[in-house]
Amino acid sequence: MTDAQIKPHFLDALKIPDIRYFIGAVGFFTLASRALAVVVGFQIYQITHNPLSLGLLGLVEAIPAISLVLFGGYVADHFNRQRILLITRAISFACALIMAFLSWRNPSGSLLGLYVMIFLVGVARGFADPASTAFESQVVPRPLTVNASSWIGSVWVTSAVIGPAAIGFIFDAWGAVGSYLIIASSFVVAWIFTALIQPKAQPVPQSTEPIFKSIGAGWRFVFSNQSLKAALALDLFAVLFGGTMALLPIYAEDILHVGAKGLGLLNAAPSLGAVMITLLATHRPPIARAGRNLLLTVAGFGVSIIVFAFSKNFWLSMTALFFSGVFDGVSMVIRRSMVRLLSPDHLRGRVAAANYVFICASNELGAFESGLLASWIGTIPCVAVGGFVTLGIVALTASLAKELRSLRYNPQTLEQKL
């Protein structure tokens, strides 16, 4: 029986210890990172009561992350990726501890210090994100790419559910100080799991080309591949204009009136939807018609955001966010698989860096755009406009990106169908 005839099992990736350690590291790091975003966003809005302050929070993290991620991709291809992850996760731990200290020392006047710490978290992210994606390719054998991507995605979104949901209750019980200490503990566990992974052989580029030319190689590859370019651009603009997460403190405090606990649940709802669909993807990978599925799911995301924008009922808002996560979860599995399957080994770090520029720009700059626009036209119109713009972007991408529309893979062999 050939490899192509062997029926894959949904637990295949979990049989390898190092993949389990990698998944554990991703899970606890995500738990801490998502909880940190909820706590610092709610704390800053309580101090300022200004939507623009939430937009600035995204910008403060985006500036170092976007500025450094390309250099981070170069570093990930030329230096030990596991060591990079250990260093950057230690930095995240230190930042969480300092934020706890700032909140304990001056709960209502630590605004500048919080922004500085988030800036440092963004610096660490600029190196950690491309290193993590590239290191995943060393840990996960190619035949297990989609299965492992589904498990990694499932654990990521499960942690993204638990982190925000739990931290809202922790914040109400123990305040910002207790919340930051719990977050710091999760960063420590992520560091331990990363350290437990056995050292892996890493291909190092032999080229002696100048550093900036080497960095540009990842971008040249992305822009030379229409499917990858279109998929990343689609996600960029959909999240840039359709993102709502930065404005959730306003919905929780002023529109739905549900406080910190409700904010945690609102933050968790998209991730709950995503974890359910990504677990399903371990059985039925959505890559047989990857391009079509990607376009449909981003359109569904846009519709969900429009419903959420106008909802003033907590449970309807939760449902809309849940379905936004369902659609985004399918999109995440498809995009993660595409980046892995389409990237050549010697460029993985730099292609991952280019990918994370799109992600950073969509999430953090999207937060800034949302905060700025909400301060001009109001929160509800801002979110609604974003949902409608997302639908327009899907239509434009579908009409222009023929290769993406027709992109298909064999779920068993992972070979692209022409």
Looking at residue 378, which CATH number applies to its domain?
1.20.1250.20
Average pLDDT, the chain: 82
Dist. CA 362–CA 235, nearest whole Å: 7
Does residue 6 form part of some domain? no
Angle 73-71-89 (CA atoms, 0-180°, nearest 5)?
A: 70
Does residue 2 form part of some domain? no
Provide the pLDDT for residue 211. 66
Dist. CA 240–CA 220, nearest whole Å: 23
pTM of this prediction?
A: 0.68
Look-up: residue for tokens 């491309």?
Answer: 130
Max Cα distance, the chain (Å):
67
Q: pLDDT tier at 260 (50, 70, 90 boundaries)?
A: confident
Look-up: residue for tokens 């706590």?
Answer: 39
Instruction: Confirm if 133 and 356 have CB atoms less than 8 A apart.
Output: yes
Instruction: Give the residue-averaged pLDDT of 276-283.
Output: 73
Identify which of 40-49, 97-106, 290-299, 393-402 has the greatest average pLDDT: 97-106
- Looking at per-residue pLDDT, the higher value among 52 and 323 belongs to 323
Provide the pLDDT for residue 273. 87
3-state secondary structure of 20: helix
Structure tokens at 15: 């049989």
Question: Could you report the per-residue pLDDT of 302-321, keeping only the tens digit for each?
Answer: 999 999 999 999 999 999 99
Q: Which residues contact 334 (CB under 8 A, 6 or more apart)?
A: 231, 286, 287, 290, 293, 294, 297
In this predicted structure, the answer to whether residue 191 has a pLDDT above a threshold of 90 is yes
Number of folded domains that form the chain: 1
Does residue 262 form part of some domain? yes
Single out the residue of 243, 242, 282 nearest to residue 14, CA to CA: 282
Question: Could you report the per-residue pLDDT of 212-231, keeping only the tens digit for each?
Answer: 676 677 778 877 777 777 88
Does residue 167 form part of some domain? yes
Single out the residue of 58, 35, 111, 118 nearest to residue 246, CA to CA: 58
Instruction: Confirm if 297 and 278 have CB atoms less than 8 A apart.
Output: no
Query: 46-65 burial, b if ≥16 CB within 10 A, otherwise e?
Result: eeeeebbbbbbbbbbbbbbb
The DSSP element (H or E) to which 82 belongs, if any, is helix 81-105
Dist. CA 296–CA 47, nearest whole Å: 40
Q: Checking DSSP bridges between strand 408-409 and strand 416-417, what pairing results, if any? A: antiparallel
Does residue 3 form part of some domain? no
Residue 409: strand pairing partners: 416
Does residue 5 form part of some domain? no
Does residue 43 form part of some domain? yes
Per the structure, the complete domain to which residue 132 belongs is given by: 11-199+208-417
Does residue 134 form part of some domain? yes
**Helical segments of 140-225, H only:** 145-196, 211-224
- CA-to-CA dists, residue 342 to 4, 120, 287, 337, 414, angstroms: 20, 32, 13, 8, 11
Query: In the chain, what percentage of residues exceed pLDDT 90?
Result: 25
Structure tokens at 310: 């106008």
Instruction: Give the residue-averaged pLDDT of 312-333.
Output: 90
